[in-house]
Amino acid sequence: MKKDTSKLESHLARHPSDAAGVISLLKARSHNYEYDFALNQKRKREKARSFERKREDNDN
């Protein structure tokens, strides 16, 4: 599940020198990127499986 970064972003707008906040935001963004990447890979694999199933059905 993606992490909501809006609270961290608003906090950093008010306190831009908060190092812990910056680190937390970077970690959350990294997590969201990895989540999106994994989800995209899963969709691609499922689409490929679907094509394979359709091809097998057409061959029979």
CA–CA separation, 52 vs 15, rounded Å?
A: 53
Within 13 Å and on the Cβ side, how many CA atoms surround 50?
6
pTM of the model: 0.74
Q: Is the pLDDT confidence value at 16 over 90?
A: yes
Per the prediction, the chain carries an average pLDDT of 95
Confidence of residue 60 (pLDDT cuts 50, 70, 90): low
Q: Per-residue pLDDT averaged across 3-28, rounded?
A: 96
Q: Per-residue pLDDT averaged across 23-49, rounded?
A: 97
